[in-house]
Amino acid sequence: MTAAEHYAARVEAVLAQRRRLRGVEPAGDTFGGLPADHPLLEADPRRPLDANLQSLADLIEPSDTIVDVGGGAGRMSLPLALRCRSVINVDPSPTMGAAFVANAKAAGISNVELVQDDWIAVSPPQGTVALVNHVTYLTHDIVPFIEKLERAGTRRVILTVNAPPPPSWNRKLFQLVHGEAEEIVPGHAELMNVLWEIGRLPDLTMLPPQNVRYIVPLPNRMAALTYAVQRAANEQWAHWPATPAFEARARAAVEQHFDDLFAPGADGFTPRWIDLGREVLITWQPGR
Ligand SMILES: C[S@@+](CC[C@H](N)C(=O)[O-])C[C@H]1O[C@@H](n2cnc3c(N)ncnc32)[C@H](O)[C@@H]1O
């Protein structure tokens, strides 16, 4: 099996397991179910740069046009738009797109454009840097996806993924709820193997631990239970409503293992099962 075939097989295994356990993904916006205050949707473009975003900003030049592939609500590229010529966000999600436009407007950022489309389908806009943050985990045809990045970002391609990948952050919970091991989406190792296979030699940097906002104590037992059931439902990026039967089963599993899943403290109950790990920066200059 080639590295690209292995990558596709990982994606297929995850989607097949998800279909079997959670049913077919409803048509429409994959990210339509995110709450408005989700950290992916709500991020002030004028916030001080954290260390990880600073690492990306260090690779950007004032004359750059960034093509942000799957840019979502502009969590990463809107702060960068303040430091370069322009940003073009290519993202098919209407929910993400609306948040991108609203976040840009609220921050007074006008050098940005939204192309509401899928990267696999779109004729790539011309930029100097292609930016891809947390998009590749369910990308079946990874080689054409990467080749298109190089056409859009002629000066540099910048990719980040998390280790472990966010769609599998709840793998311990998944095992308890479903009684089987979760199929894990491809991450940095699978991506690097594909890049090496096609002759690219990127730089890889493990960025500092971050994302503390993703794990907060839940104020009481009921809130903790509801949170865990929601995390179980959204695992493998199944961002659609769970059936009452799934919720009942997940609630029973969480109740049974509550003391293993949550650490009690003065602020409430903190989830123990999520390993946020580290963000991984992968970057190269096409043609060099
Ligand atoms: C987890 S979000 C990340 C958003 C943003 N890059 C960030 O880091 O905040 C993944 C985004 O990728 C988008 N996406 C997934 N597959 C895509 C594709 N084939 N082409 C373009 N965007 C895609 C989704 O719509 C979603 O907005």
Residue 209 CA: distances (Å) to CA of 52, 145, 178, 206, 279: 9, 28, 29, 9, 7
How many domains are there within the chain? 1
CB of 93 closer than 6 angstroms to any ligand 1 atom = yes
pLDDT band at 210, cuts 50/70/90? Answer: confident
Q: Does ligand 1 lie within 6 Å of residue 91's CB atom? A: yes
User: For atom 9 of ligand 1, which residue has the closest CA?
Assistant: 75
Residue whose CB lies within 8 A of the most ligand 1 atoms, among 34, 47, 91, for a mutation test: 91
Of the pLDDT bands very low, low, confident and very high (cuts 50, 70, 90), residue 165 is very high
Protein residue closest via CA to atom 24 of ligand 1: 70
In ligand 1, which atom is closest to the CA atom of 30?
25
Q: Tell me which residue of 159, 160, 149, 180 sits closest to 13, measured CA to CA.
A: 180
* CATH number for the domain that contains residue 33: 3.40.50.150
Pocket probe for ligand 1: among 135, 145, 235, the residue whose CB has the most ligand atoms within 8 Å is 135
CB of 122 shorter than 6 A to ligand 1: no
- 87 domain-assigned: yes
| pLDDT surpasses 70 at 248 | yes
pLDDT of 213 above 80: no
Closest ligand 1 atom number to CA of residue 68: 6
**Is residue 270 one of the residues assigned to a domain?**
no
- Which residue has a Cα nearest atom 4 of ligand 1? 72
100, part of any domain? yes
Distance between Cα 125 and ligand 1 center (Å): 16
Confidence (pLDDT) at 265: 95
Phi, psi of 244 (to 5 degrees): -60, -35
pLDDT average, residue stretch 199-205: 98
Q: Is the CB of 96 under 6 A from ligand 1?
A: yes
Mean pLDDT of the chain: 96
Higher pLDDT, 155 or 275: 155
Q: For the whole model, what pTM was predicted? A: 0.96
pLDDT in tens, 37-94: 888 899 999 999 999 999 999 999 999 999 999 999 999 999 999 999 999 999 999 9
Cα 158 to middle of ligand 1, angstroms: 14
Evaluate whether residue 52 is within a structural domain: yes
pLDDT at 212: 65
Nearest atom within ligand 1 for CA of residue 120 = 19
Check: CB of residue 202 under 8 Å from CB of residue 147.
Answer: no
pLDDT of residue 211: 61
Q: pLDDT for 96-131, tens place per residue?
A: 999 999 999 999 999 999 999 999 999 999 999 999
**Residue 122 CB contacts under 8 Å (≥ 6 apart), including other chains:** 90, 115
Alpha carbon distance 137, 176 (integer Å): 23
Which atom of ligand 1 sits closest to the CA of residue 96? 27
- Cα 195 to chain centroid distance, Å, stands at 19
Inter-residue contact 262 to 271 (CB < 8 Å): yes
Q: Which residue has the tokens 């995390």?
A: 231
Q: Please give the distance, rounded to the nearest whole angstrom, from the Cα atom of residue 187 to the centre of ligand 1.
A: 15
pLDDT of residue 46: 97
pLDDT at 288: 78
Q: What's the CA-to-centroid distance between 71 and ligand 1, angstroms?
A: 6
How many angstroms separate the CA atoms of 19 and 16, rounded? 5
How buried is residue 179: exposed, middle or buried, by Cβ count under 10 Å (0-12/13-18/19+)? exposed
Is residue 261, in this structure, part of any structural domain at all?
no
Query: Per the domain annotation, does 220 fall within a domain?
Result: no
**pLDDT tens across 21-46, in order?**
999 999 888 888 788 888 889 999 99
Minimum-distance ligand 1 atom for the alpha carbon of 90: 21
Q: Is residue 127 part of a domain?
A: yes
Kindly state whether residue 221 falls inside one of the protein's structural domains.
Answer: no
The domain in which residue 61 lies consists of 3-171+178-212+275-284
Question: Does residue 119 contact residue 148 with C-beta atoms inside 8 Å?
Answer: yes
